[in-house]
Amino acid sequence: MTAPSRFALLALALLVPGLAEAAASDASSQGKAALEAAREAYRKAGSFRETLDLKVEFPDGRSKMQGLDYGVGSGGEAFLVLSSDGLEVFQIVGRDGRMVATQLNVAGRYTEVRYDGNLAAALERSGSVQSGVTPPPPVVAAQGGDLDAFLAAFRFGLLGPLKITGFRSGGSSALLEVDLTAPNGSATVGIDPESHRLRELRMALGEGKEQVRASGPFRFTAGSPGKALVLPDLTGRTAVATFSEMGSSGYPLGQPAPDVTLRSLDGASVRLADLRGSVVVLDFWATWCVPCWEALEHTEELAAWAKSSGLPVKVFALNTMESSKDEELRRQVTEFLRSKKLDLPVLLDSVHDAFSAFHEPGLPSLVIIGKDGKLARYHSSRIADMVKTVRGEVEELLKAEER
C-alpha cells in the first residue's frame, strides 16, 4: 500500500466517528425542535380534549387496551381518565382550587389535594409518583410546562429519564418521528408536520424476552371538554391525601391470608400457613414488569435485614403472571436475577393461583401478613422510601402482637 493510500485510510478512520457523532447531534437537534413545536402547539391550543388508546402487548402473548382521556378548560381546569379494557380505573378532575381523584374499585374514599391550575403539581402532591399516575404531555404543555417537563411526561410513570436519540421525516407514515431512549426502554413519538400535534406513540419497556410493547394513536378535539370537567359525586366517600391511602382502603385487610403453597427456586415447597408466628412480606413481581425491577432491589435489602435481624420476619419476592411454567420458569427467573445481580428469596406462582387468591394485588405490589396469619398491610405500585417504610410497618406489627 502506498503512503498516500495509508494516509487516506487513516484520515477516513478519523473522520467516520466524527461524522457519526455529527449525525447523532443533528438528529437530536431536529428531534428537540419537533418536540418544542409540539409543546408550543398545545400551549396555544386553548380548550381541548384528547385521547390516547394504547394496545399493550405482554411477553406471554396477552394484550389489553389502556386508555387515557384528558383535556383542559379555558379557566385552567383539567381532567384525566385512565381506563383498562374499556373500564374506567381512575377519574381525576382539577378545578376551583381542588383536585379530586376517584378509583373504580374503591367506593368509600377519594383523594383530594389543592389545585392551582397545574395538574402535574397537584398529582405530585397526591403521591402520584408511587402510583405511576402522571400528567399526559399535552396537558403539561397546555399548562405552561417547559420543554424539559414536556419531555419528562413521555415517561408515563414507567420509563427512566429520556434522551432524544433519533429523528425521521418524510417516511411512509408521513409523520415526524422522534426517538426517545431511557435506561429501561424507549419510545417513538409521531408528530403531525402541519398541526404539530401528537399523532401516535410506540413504547418498549424492558429487555429481551421480558419486553412489554405499547402502541396507539392520539385523537385531538378542539373546544371545551364539557362534562368531563365536572367534579364527581362524592356522596358517602371520605377524603384522603394520597392515592396510596385510597388504594389500600379497597384491599381486604384484617382477613386471613390465603393458604397457598408455592415453590422456591431450589424446588422446595413453601406453604404460607406454615409461616404463622412470623411476619411475612410478599413482593409481587414479574420479569416483564419494569416498575418491579427497582422494587426488587429494595426487597433484596429488606430480605437481608430480616435474615440478619434475628426477628421472626420472612421476606419473599413472589414471581407471578408469567407465560413460562415449571422448569422453564425457574430458568427464566434465575437468569433474570443473575442479569440484575439480585440475590433474594423467590417464590414461584407458576399458574397465577396465588395472585388470584390475594385479590389480584397488581404489579408491583407488596402485602404484609401478621404473625396471626391475617392480611395486615397492602401497598399498590411503588412505595416511597420502601425499605424504611416496610421495616417500620413490620416492627410496628411485631410490637403490637407482643402486647
User: Which of 199, 227, 248 marks a domain boundary?
Assistant: 248
Kindly state whether residue 357 falls inside one of the protein's structural domains. yes
* CATH number of residue 296's parent domain: 3.40.30.10
212 with 313, same domain: the answer is no
User: Which of 215, 248, 281 marks a domain boundary?
Assistant: 248
Q: How confident is the model at residue 222 (pLDDT cuts 50, 70, 90)?
A: very high
Tell me which residue has cell 399535552.
Answer: 138
318 with 384, same domain: the answer is yes
* Phi, psi for 277 (deg, rounded to 5): 100, -15
For 351-397, the pLDDT digits (tens) are 899 999 999 888 899 999 999 999 999 998 888 789 999 999 999 99
For 180-217, the pLDDT digits (tens) are 999 889 999 999 999 999 999 999 998 777 788 999 99
Task: Show the domain range for 224.
Answer: 23-248
Kindly state whether residue 14 falls inside one of the protein's structural domains. no
242 with 278, same domain: the answer is no
Looking from the CA of 130 toward its CB, the CA atoms found within 13 Å total 19
Q: Is 301 helix (H, G, I), strand (E, B) or coil?
A: helix
Average pLDDT over residues 220-248: 91
pLDDT at 16: 56
User: Which of 218, 248, 278 marks a domain boundary?
Assistant: 248
132 with 88, same domain: the answer is yes
Kindly state whether residue 179 falls inside one of the protein's structural domains. yes
111 with 168, same domain: the answer is yes
223 with 356, same domain: the answer is no
Kindly state whether residue 8 falls inside one of the protein's structural domains. no
Tell me which residue has cell 402482637.
Answer: 401
146 with 270, same domain: the answer is no
Mean pLDDT value across the chain: 90
Q: Distances from the Cα of 63 to the Cαs of 59, 60, 84, in angstroms?
A: 9, 9, 11
166 with 50, same domain: the answer is yes
Average pLDDT over residues 67-88: 95
pLDDT at 238: 92
Q: Is the pLDDT of residue 20 over 80?
A: no
Q: Is the pLDDT of residue 11 over 60?
A: no
For 260-275, the pLDDT digits (tens) are 999 999 999 999 999 9
pLDDT at 134: 92
The answer to which of 18-32, 182-196, 303-317, 326-340 has the lowest mean pLDDT is: 18-32
* Phi, psi for 171 (deg, rounded to 5): -80, -165
**119: number of Cβ within 10 Å:** 29
Kindly state whether residue 242 falls inside one of the protein's structural domains. yes
For 275-312, the pLDDT digits (tens) are 999 999 999 999 888 889 989 999 999 999 999 999 99
The answer to which of 10-19, 67-76, 179-188, 284-293 has the lowest mean pLDDT is: 10-19
Kindly state whether residue 7 falls inside one of the protein's structural domains. no
Kindly state whether residue 11 falls inside one of the protein's structural domains. no
Kindly state whether residue 10 falls inside one of the protein's structural domains. no
pLDDT at 375: 96
pLDDT at 125: 92
234 with 272, same domain: the answer is no
204 with 320, same domain: the answer is no
Q: Is the pLDDT of residue 106 over 80?
A: no
270 with 211, same domain: the answer is no
Comparing 380 with 258, the larger pLDDT belongs to 258
Q: Is the pLDDT of residue 159 over 70?
A: yes
Comparing 2 with 28, the larger pLDDT belongs to 28
User: Contacts by 330-337 with C-beta closer than 8 Å and gap 24+?
Assistant: 330/263, 330/265, 330/267, 332/209, 332/287, 333/265, 333/287, 334/265, 336/210, 336/287
Burial 256-273 (b: 16+ CB within 10 A, else e): ebeebebbebeeeebebe
Q: Is 297 helix (H, G, I), strand (E, B) or coil?
A: helix
pTM of the model: 0.80
Q: Is the pLDDT of residue 13 over 70?
A: no
pLDDT at 19: 47
Q: With beta carbons less than 8 A apart as the criterion, state whether 320 and 352 touch.
A: yes
376 with 267, same domain: the answer is yes
How many domains does one find in the chain? 2
* CATH number of residue 54's parent domain: 2.50.20.10
pLDDT at 1: 53
